[in-house]
Each structure stands twice: as C-alpha cells, then as structure tokens.
Amino acid sequence: MKIYQQQILFSIFITILFLSSCSEVELSRDYEQTGFDYPNTIKSDVIDEYFDTLVADPYRWLEDDTSDETGEWVVAQNKVTQNYLSVIPYREKIRDRIKKLWDYEKVGAPFKEGEYTYFYRNEGLQNQYVLYRTSKEGETEVFLDPNTFSEDGTTSLSSIGFSQDGSLAAYSISEAGSDWRKIIVIDAVTRETIEEPIVDVKFSGIAWKGQEGFYYSSYDKPQGSELSSKTDQHKLYFHQIGTPQKEDKVIFGAIDEQKRRYVGGSITEDGRYLIISGAISTSGNDLYLKDLSEPNSPLLTILDDTDSEAYVIDSVGAKLYIVTDRDAPNQKIVTVDASDPRPENWKDFIPETENVLLPSTGGGYFFVEYMIDALSKVYQYDYSGNRLREIILPGSGSVGSISGKRKAEKLYYSFSNYNTPSTIYELDLESNKSKVYRESGVDFDSDHYVSKQVFYSSKDGTRIPMMITHKKGLILDGKNPTMLYGYGGFNISITPSFSTTNAFWLEQGGIYAVPNLRGGGEYGKRWHDAGTQLNKQNVFDDFISAAEYLIKSGYTSSDYLAVNGRSNGGLLVGAVLTQRPDLMRVALPGVGVLDMLRYHTFTAGAGWAYDYGTAEQSREMFAYLQAYSPVHNVRRQGYPATMVTTGDHDDRVVPAHSFKFAAHLQDKNTSQSPMLIRIETDAGHGAGTPASKIIEQYADKFGFTLFNMGFNELPYQYGEN
C-alpha cells in the first residue's frame, strides 16, 4: 500500500502541524519540569599541569574501563536514558517504520576470484551481509554467513582477501565492534578452515603472495586495557601458510626502525611488487617497494618522508603508476620505473587540475573521478594517458569507484545522492554503455523530494557548499525540523549518499542539511589543512555559519534545529554545543573525540596529531586545544537537549571521551533540558554494528530529537491518505 501523502497534502499537513507547535512544545516540556535523577558521578582531585597551567580532570576515573565503578556508572546512566526514552509516545512507531524501510533485499556488485563470482547479499533485516558465490555452471551458494558467527549478530565480517588463483582465502572478523580482529584462513573451494586463526590484528589489510601466505599489519598487544591502552608501533608481518603465528616474520616496522603508527602492505595485481606504506599520522606517508620476482631483492625507497601522500595504484611490467599530492594538492598520477622510483624520476601521467582527482582502475583502463563542489564527474583514460570519454552519470551525486581486475570485460559502480537510493550500474567495456544492474528496493519515492546545493559565507568569508534535502512544497516558515550533519576533518570528503534511516526523517517533513566544512578533502589538501591544528576553529565556524544560513533563510529556527555528527563530527557537535548553546534545540554528539588534552594517550589516538596537534606540542597549541575542547568548556549555563552516544567496546575513540563530557553536562547544565548518554553494549565505533542495533539507535535518536522539538505525535502518521 502506498504510504506517502498526496503531494497536494504535504503543505497542508505541515501547516496544521506547526500552527499547533507552540502548545506541543509546552506539553512535551512538562516532562522536563520533573527534572532528572542523574547517577551520582563522583569527582576526584586529579589535576594536570601544562606549561604552568593547572587543569582539573575530576572524572579521570571514568577512563578506567576495567573498573567495577565505571561499569556500574554505565548501567546507571543507561537506565536513566532508557527511562526517558520510554516516555516518548511514538518511539515504537519510529522503530517500526525504520525497520520497514530497512527490510528490502540488498545485493552488492559481483566480483570474480578464481573460478567463482562472489557477491554480498542481505535478505532485508539480517544483522550482517552474507557472502555468496556462483560457479561457472551457474550454481549459487552461501560462502560465508557472518550471522552464524555469534548468536546476537555482533560478530561481523570485516574484510576478505583471496590468493592469486582464488584457491585460498583469509577473512577477518570483528567481535562486539572492536578494531582488534582475528584472521581465519580457509580453503576457498571447500570452505574448510585450514589452520589456527591469526589473532590480535588491528588496522590491517590482507595481501596474498601467490598461494604461499599473506601480509598483514598489527600492533603489539597492549599490557593494560585492550580497549584504551596506547598502540603506536604498527608492524607489517608475513604469515606463511601452514606455520604458527608465532613464527610470522616482521617485514617492516621493527623496534629499531623509525616508529610508525600506521603501516600497510599491498601486492600489485600481477603479484610482482610488494608495496609498503608507513605513516606517523593520518596525513602523509613514506613509501617502499620490494620486487617479489627476485629472491632476496632489496627494499627500495619511493618516498623517504611523510610530507605528502602517495600510493601505487597499478603497475605494468616495471612501470609504476603512483597517485600523489606531492607538489599537487588536488592529486595527480605519475609514472616511474620500479628500478629507481624516487620522486626526481617521476613523470606526470594525468596532471593535477583545479578539481580533486580520485582514480581507480579496471578492465585495462583508468577511471578518474573529479570532485566538483563535492559532486562526481568521471572520465575514462587509457594506459597512455589519453582521455577517452566521460562516463555519463544519471544525475548530480556520488559515484562509487569504477574498479575491477585488468581482464574484466564488465565493471560495476554505484550512484546515489541524498534523495536517490543507491543503484548499481554495469559498464560494458566493449560497447562503453552503462545499464542498471541492481535498483534499490527501499520503500521511498524520490519524486516527492528535492536535494539542492547552496553556497554560504563562513565567518571569515570563505565560500562553503551545502546540500539541503527535503520534501517538495516546503514552507519556509522557520518551523521545519532540521538535522544539520557535519564532519570536517581528516581529509574525508562528505559527498551525497542515500541513507535508509534518514529516509524516515525526510518522510516526517524534516530537512537534512550537510555542509562541506573545511578540514575535509572536498577541495584538496589546502581545504584539509585549513581545518587542522591552529585552524580547527574554522571547522566550527563553518558549521555555525551553516546553521545561521538555514535560520536566516527560513528553513528552520533554533527551536527546530538539531546538530549531529560522529567521531571527528562528534567533536564538531561538542565544540559547537559549548560555544553556541543558543543555536540549536538538540545536540547529538556520537562517539566523539571530546577530551582534546588527552585524546592522544588512548589507543591509536596519537596518530591524529596532524589534524589536532597535541597539548604537549607547544604552549600555543595547548592553549588553542583547551579553548575549544568540549570536556573543558562546559560552563554552568543552560544547554539544549543533548544525547551523547557511544559504544562500550569502542577502541578507536574510547568511550571515556563521552563519559566525561556527559558527566560535565549533567553537573553544570542549568536548563530543564535532558543531558543524557546512550551507551550501546557490545558495540564499537560503528563498523560491523548489527542492523537490529542500528535500527534501535536511530529510532532513539529521531525520537529524542522530535520529542525535544515539541512534537507529541509524529508529524506524518503512516497509513493516512
């Protein structure tokens, strides 16, 4: 049955809804007047000294994730949060609708390994995607089903790598969302496990050397808490099939070498070259090469500094193709002979342009995506560097990487934007034509929605793009519930993509707005650097200016604005919340980096210093971090409704960040708004989270948001005509 309202009724229902919104705000705030019996969070006398400045850290004890006291605090906080959420009258309606939206068959693009074609599939509500394969005879069977790895669906399939002939496979699993992995080796034909798992693996690929074995990366297992102890010496190992893990050899990153926090190994498609990358932080890497076709060949240096980024995208014989931002902030592709691959010998293959270059290879071609104001445009090149044609996309949005093996005759790519569900296309390299391979089955009609790009000025006058998505016929009366999402960091580009959960928000007449903040990679390295270290405030100013644009333009108002972000985006929300609590009605900082004076003391956090700097770096850097660190800038004043979210097994951004921030908010908030923390159990930073948990998380997030905007019932009631 069609559940969407007739277009002619959209504006009528929204108008009726907001004519009564004042009384609804008062009704839902009656609950707030009862106050909150938050758990008693004990304060300690911990004080740190930075450059003669004393800084109190009264909730330091919450950093101890192994203590009974922290565990009891988590249970008590979740009880308060769940008691509050249970009062929301439409909580179950939201959950049921998101569940229905989620319940459709999802199938990924096929890929060939050995004699089989593999693809991922989810029937609809399965917690994890299942990996299937089809034989040459056309018989399809389950290859790996992660839903059988654990009873509650919290063990996920993280990655898989096949040997060159496809006869062997190694796959990694994550338990309870942890970044620590196990690698399991199987006979890919029989699917039988052939040896004991490789354990204690973190931030690793799986790169096979023929059928002999594979390269993987990890840290030494920490002596203290596996969740929060510092890990900063990454190493590349080689595992020989049939031998115990204790005999695995360290190939790169030994103690007597320069310490690197991130080390990775990859093998070129022809199997000839091992490429090793090392990095101290999340930006910039050194690069090395070893010719595996020659016994005892030396390790050759491609780059011996971390001042730029570079990686080998392909090789033909002794010719390497390298993608780099060295002397090219928007990236370019260069070629060099593998016998002497240093930068002085590089030759431009596809030069830098005014737009960021994001290349892939497949079928004997290069496919180069250019980001133009965060929107995709793709061109096809041959191996002589000639531009052959533009790949015509179905609209303005984001294209998934067009990639595959060199001998592939057909390649696959996805396309989506904020109001268009992802569609997979098949590109026939002989005819150079694309056709739909798999359409999304989500119960969402894009024709009822519009997504447009606007540009606004930030505090310093910088021009920032923003995508705004909503129902057609929107009334600009300042009363539309609006979700403003941001990230702004680590050179990550936020490009348009469809979200099944956000489809619920749009159905409710909500606006979904996403600005491309500085600190991201949408305009290359200069854009990234403009939002790092002593420039980090630019990111917050960009986000604040986005909110002010939406309010000034009549899309929404402070009473109907929610700000949302995760990880580095959680920092963004925390900083904006403490700097401009008047700006929004709801704040949703998720798995955020919130203690900027101590983030680098946990797990691999020290590797984020390129973006953030550290408190010990200099007096100036300490003062800058202290000035915006969310944990250190909670004042005794009124704050908007806030729900902090984290996972108890998050070993990337440890939950102590969120614990301490929530404790400060509960202690110092003077408004009647709730200061809650929702702590997901058996969950990590986000990757591999079971579908059932995702649905519950978003139901609570949207319910909390609408309830605190004053809605006692959903704006759109499903089943109405």
Instruction: Show which residues are catalytic.
Output: 567, 685
Pick the closest to residue 606 from 231, 135, 178 (CA basis): 231
Fill in the DSSP letter of residue 258. Answer: P
What phi and psi values does residue 705 have, to the nearest 5 degrees?
Answer: -65, -55
Write the CB contacts of 654 (distance below 8 Å, at least 6 apart in sequence). Answer: 63, 65, 227, 228, 602, 603
Pick the closest to residue 442 from 132, 3, 89 (CA basis): 3
Residue 419 contacts residue 451 (beta carbons within 8 Å):
yes
Please name the residue that has the structure tokens 């408190």. 615
3-state percent helix, strand, coil for the chain, nearest multiple of 5:
25, 30, 45
d(CA 415, CA 425): 8
Classify residue 702 as exposed, middle or buried by CB count within 10 Å of its CB (0-12, 13-18, 19+): buried
Residue 177 contacts residue 652 (beta carbons within 8 Å):
no
What phi and psi values does residue 654 have, to the nearest 5 degrees?
Answer: -60, 145
Three-class DSSP category at 369 = strand
Neighbours of 137 (CB within 10 A): 6
Pick the closest to residue 143 from 183, 189, 175 (CA basis): 189
Q: What is the torsional sign of CA 303, 364, 402, 454? A: positive
d(CA 213, CA 573): 45
Torsion of CA 278, 282, 284, 286, to 10 degrees: 0
Write the CB contacts of 288 (distance below 8 Å, at least 6 apart in sequence). Answer: 252, 275, 276, 277, 278, 299, 300, 301, 302
d(CA 489, CA 352): 22
Residue type, 469: T
Residue 586 contacts residue 576 (beta carbons within 8 Å):
no
Q: What is the torsional sign of CA 459, 460, 461, 463? A: negative
Distances (CA, A) of 663 to 47, 191, 206, 384, 518: 17, 49, 41, 60, 30
Please name the residue that has the structure tokens 């949005």. 397
Residue type, 251: I
Residue 238 contacts residue 248 (beta carbons within 8 Å):
yes
Residue 709 contacts residue 701 (beta carbons within 8 Å):
no
